[in-house]
A and B are shown apart, each in its own frame.
Chain A
Amino acid sequence: MAEIVFDKVSKVYEGGGHAAAVRELDLTIRDGEFVVLVGPSGCGKSTALRMIAGLEQITSGELRIGGTVANNLAPRERDIAMVFQSYALYPHLSVRDNMGFGLKVRGAPAAEIDRKVAETAALLELTDFLDRKPAKLSGGQRQRVAMGRALVRAPNAFLMDEPLSNLDARLRGQMRAEIARLQKMSAVTTVYVTHDQVEAMTMGDRVAVMSRGTIQQVDAPRALYDRPRNLFVASFIGTPPINLLRGTVVAEAGRPALKLGPWSLDLTGHRSARSLEPGRQVIAGIRPEAFRLAADGLPAVAAFIEDLGSTLLLHLESPEAEVVPTSAAERDAELDTVRPRLRVVVDGTAKTAVGERLRLACDPAALHLFDPATGEAL
């Protein structure tokens, strides 16, 4: 068990031009902590993980595992266990030998290997499959063997590289809870890489959101959701994604207010109110579930309704408000529609029909305000 510290760690791939895969990463993962690295593909999260494992050379900066500088240590000298997206089970070995491989290579006595493999197999309900080859297992069983291979060793740290992305949705949900439970039980420092924000939000003690090789924010899942530090984090975290609207700060009867098209929201007492001088342009972020249908507010027309059972997801057109697309992917996808739509989640029992004129209101406290130039939260 160990603390893992990134101290201004960078990685530049040879022949990869000037762009660094990871740029001056500063992150301390405390002993026993479960930290999730999350971000879109190519954000450097897997590279960061592989640098901990020793599978990627570090270009500059210092990586410390358990207080020791690990930059030039071979993977086997770091005593970490990694679970791969592909599971990377050894196809020529039985489940038993796959799980015992790390112990055997490190010269553990055969009796101890047998005992530990049996214990771990029982924990993961793999006892009946110990003599099978990986090819004869289902996807979920393979995933558990990959977990077992890591658990059996009681290493310094677990590293998991999108371990659930090859499972179907139902199994993924089960394993999410299972991995979180096993991690709490073993209390081994864990770094978990995923592009799935549901995994990030539900599993980690802390979540590091990465984009373009840098960390955007490290925080507890709740804090990421409630207090995103910038536009990237605000739009990456949350499903369906946050609504972003361009607005202007105004003074109405001496009180600060936010003007979104024809609609104005009183900002008195808002956490950002102090830094808001009248006339300032801002981008306002409003979560789909923060909106409510009201008698007075932002006018919008229901363009499309997704009935999710307990809730309705409304896609609304609001010609008078200036809606900003939340991500690059969305910007591309929106090219063929007239303009970005607002997303609003309402109770499943609400009576709404396509084409209906609605008015949206929201609690000013649920408003996130960002600087349009820097993208930073105000």
Chain B
Amino acid sequence: MSARAENLLGRRLALLAILLIFLLPVAWLLTTAWKQSSQIFSIPPTLYFTPSLDQFRSAFAFFDIWSLVKSSLIISVGSAVLSLLLGVPAGYALARSRSRLAVGTAYFFLAIRMIPAVAALIPFYLLMRDIGLLGTWWAVILINTMLNCAFVTWMMFSYFRALPPDMEEAALTDGCTQFGAFWRVAVPSARSGMIASALFCIMFAWNDFLFAMFLTRTDAKPISVALLTAYGTQDITWGTLGALAHFSTIPIVLMALVLNRYFVQGATNGVQ
């Protein structure tokens, strides 16, 4: 074996080892759901067991899983749509602004995404209570939109900034209005940026626990909150928790796998 091939093999093995360390908690969580309750805490832990659907049965018995997933979907997709509707035009306006304050304003929007969730939660709770949206999907959609549209604004700002204005100017001379140039030329050109933004919005909202915990009631509860209730129904039902975690993890992992190039684009966009 040549030195070069050996080198490559060594690197692959090192990568594999690191990967295993990262995947271990996930594997642990998932295998928990496929074991019998008696095997979950067996010492030493076993990796060889006969798969069982018992934990899924009890998960379905205790929880209306489809309704939980539906809530999660409505909240994450709803807030992503709203965030894009507000954030894309805002980012475009900032990117094309000739004001010296434009860049600072864009970073101010990024800073909004960084405020501690709890600090936003308290006034938002009172606000939602007063306008009667507390306990509904809308409350969670709106608070996620508030934070995520600031993020989308910043992200689309950097996307549109990287886009030469010539194409929009060509559209203007071709007969478009300012809005027409934005809608027909700038928006399609920034498609991948919009997909990346939407993915991040969906991910943030899907994984959100705190807002949903305080702002929803049973009928609007998403799966992230339900995971905690599995923790306290009778005792700590780890197996049920593991089964439920499947439904919370798999959709977002699938999305990341299928659309990973947009995630990478989104994550590296500011660096270019």
Q: Show the binding face of A for B, using Cβ within 8 Å.
A: 14-15, 53-55, 74-76, 78-82, 84-86, 88-92, 101-102, 105-106, 149, 153, 159
**Are A88 and B177 in touch, CB under 8 angstroms?**
no
**Are B191 and A92 in touch, CB under 8 angstroms?**
yes
Stretch with Cβ within 8 A of A (4 or more), from B46-54, B110-118, B168-176, B207-215? B168-176
**Are A88 and B167 in touch, CB under 8 angstroms?**
yes
Q: What 6 A-B pairs come out closest when comparing CB atoms? A: A88-B166, A102-B174, A88-B170, A75-B172, A92-B188, A105-B175
Given A91-B189, A92-B189, A92-B191, A82 contacting B177 (CB threshold 8 A): no
Give min CB distance, A50 to chain B, whole Å: 8
What are the residues of chain B within 8 A of A78 when measuring CB–CB?
A: 173
Give min CB distance, B133 to chain A, whole Å: 38
**Are A84 and B166 in touch, CB under 8 angstroms?**
yes
What are the residues of chain B within 8 A of A86 when measuring CB–CB?
A: 164, 166
Given A15-B100, A102-B175, A82 contacting B170 (CB threshold 8 A): yes
| Chain A residues touching B, majority SS | loop
What are the residues of chain B within 8 A of A82 when measuring CB–CB?
A: 169-170, 173
Give min CB distance, B205 to chain A, whole Å: 28
* Further 20 A-B residue pairs, CB within 8 A, beyond A81-B173, A84-B170, A90-B185: A15-B100, A53-B173, A54-B173, A74-B172, A74-B177, A75-B169, A76-B173, A76-B175, A81-B174, A82-B173, A85-B166, A86-B164, A88-B167, A88-B170, A90-B167, A91-B167, A92-B188, A101-B171, A101-B174, A105-B174
Tell me, in angstroms, the Cα distance from A159 to B185 when the chains sit together: 20
Tell me, in angstroms, the Cα distance from A15 to B100 when the chains sit together: 10
Tell me, in angstroms, the Cα distance from A78 to B167 when the chains sit together: 18
Most chain A CB inside 10 Å of its own CB: which residue of B98, B166, B169, B173: B173
Residue B180 CB within 8 A of the other chain: yes
What are the residues of chain A within 8 A of B185 when measuring CB–CB?
A: 90
What are the residues of chain B within 8 A of A85 when measuring CB–CB?
A: 166
A85 — nearest CB in chain B belongs to which residue? B166
Tell me, in angstroms, the Cα distance from A190 to B165 when the chains sit together: 23
Give min CB distance, B160 to chain A, whole Å: 14
Tell me, in angstroms, the Cα distance from A352 to B173 when the chains sit together: 56
Tell me, in angstroms, the Cα distance from A105 to B168 when the chains sit together: 13
What are the residues of chain B within 8 A of A101 when measuring CB–CB?
A: 171, 174, 184
B187 — nearest CB in chain A belongs to which residue? A92
What are the residues of chain A within 8 A of B191 when measuring CB–CB?
A: 92
B163 — nearest CB in chain A belongs to which residue? A91
Given A15-B100, A92-B189, A149 contacting B166 (CB threshold 8 A): no
Tell me, in angstroms, the Cα distance from A102 to B181 when the chains sit together: 11
- 29 pairs, CB–CB < 8 Å, chain A vs chain B: A15-B100, A55-B173, A74-B172, A74-B177, A75-B169, A76-B172, A76-B177, A81-B173, A81-B174, A82-B169, A82-B170, A84-B169, A85-B166, A86-B164, A86-B166, A88-B166, A88-B167, A90-B170, A90-B171, A90-B185, A90-B189, A91-B167, A91-B189, A92-B189, A101-B171, A101-B174, A102-B175, A105-B174, A149-B174
Pick the residue among B98, B167, B173, B184 that contacts A80 (CB under 8 A). B173
Give min CB distance, B156 to chain A, whole Å: 17
What are the residues of chain B within 8 A of A14 when measuring CB–CB?
A: 98
What are the residues of chain A within 8 A of B172 when measuring CB–CB?
A: 53-55, 74-76
Give min CB distance, A92 to chain B, whole Å: 4
B191 — nearest CB in chain A belongs to which residue? A92
Tell me, in angstroms, the Cα distance from A86 to B170 when the chains sit together: 11
Tell me, in angstroms, the Cα distance from A92 to B191 when the chains sit together: 10
Tell me, in angstroms, the Cα distance from A75 to B169 when the chains sit together: 9
Pick the residue among A55, A105, A149, A153 that contacts B180 (CB under 8 A). A105
Pick the residue among A53, A55, A88 that contacts B164 (CB under 8 A). A88
What are the residues of chain A within 8 A of B98 when measuring CB–CB?
A: 14
Tell me, in angstroms, the Cα distance from A171 to B262 when the chains sit together: 38
Tell me, in angstroms, the Cα distance from A81 to B169 when the chains sit together: 11
Tell me, in angstroms, the Cα distance from A105 to B185 when the chains sit together: 12
**Are B169 and A55 in touch, CB under 8 angstroms?**
yes
B167 — nearest CB in chain A belongs to which residue? A88
Tell me, in angstroms, the Cα distance from A75 to B168 when the chains sit together: 11
Tell me, in angstroms, the Cα distance from A53 to B166 when the chains sit together: 12
What are the residues of chain B within 8 A of A153 when measuring CB–CB?
A: 174
Most chain A CB inside 10 Å of its own CB: which residue of B171, B175, B189: B175
What are the residues of chain A within 8 A of B188 when measuring CB–CB?
A: 90, 92
